[in-house]
Amino acid sequence: MYNVMLVDDDYPVIELLSEAISWNELGLNLMGSYENGMSAWEDAKSSPPDILITDIGMPKMNGLELSARIKEVKADVRIAILSCHNEFQYAQQAMRLNVQDYLLKDTLDPEELAQLLKRFKQAMDEEAQKGWEQSRMIHLVDESRELRKEQSLKNFIHQPLLSP
């Protein structure tokens, strides 16, 4: 189960998203809802989320700074920005941080966010599967290398000392 952090200073948005999305059915754990970036960062330092959903404009620490700090701790975090700002400069800053999605609050539908979360989860599951397959292949290569060494040593031992 992947951990999700929800950060927004607009309490009705947090309440709506906390209740409207079936987190457990999506295979996600809502690890916390925060009203500003600083309180979210305090928790993220010790337990970084797999998915961050954050507003941009918040007191104490904005969502872009929070995203950058969490990326320093967990580079593969998935980030969705919620914003009232339809301005290019905010989207541009989000793109520099490799944010996966930028959603406008005034047109936000919880079902749209749920679909986005499903895509995030699917991508993370695929990456985990690839990582497992890669580690299995490495193990098999190491195992076959040891078997080849052993076979070479046996062949050397069983060869006659002098050939006719």
CB atoms within 10 A of CB 84: 14
Which token pair is 64? 């872009």
Q: Provide the pLDDT for residue 164.
A: 59
- Please tell me the pTM assigned to this model: 0.71
CA angle 36, 86, 30 (to 5 degrees): 35
Q: Provide the pLDDT for residue 87.
A: 60
CB atoms within 10 A of CB 31: 18
Q: How far, rounded to the nearest angstrom, does the alpha carbon of residue 101 sit from its chain's CA centroid?
A: 13
Find residue 34's DSSP bridge partners: 7
Helix (H, G, I), strand (E, B) or coil at 155: helix
* Amino acid in the structure at residue 67: S
Q: What is the pLDDT of residues 72-116, one digit of tens each?
A: 999 889 888 887 766 656 666 666 666 666 677 777 788 888 888
Q: Provide the pLDDT for residue 70.
A: 93
Which token pair is 31? 């690890």
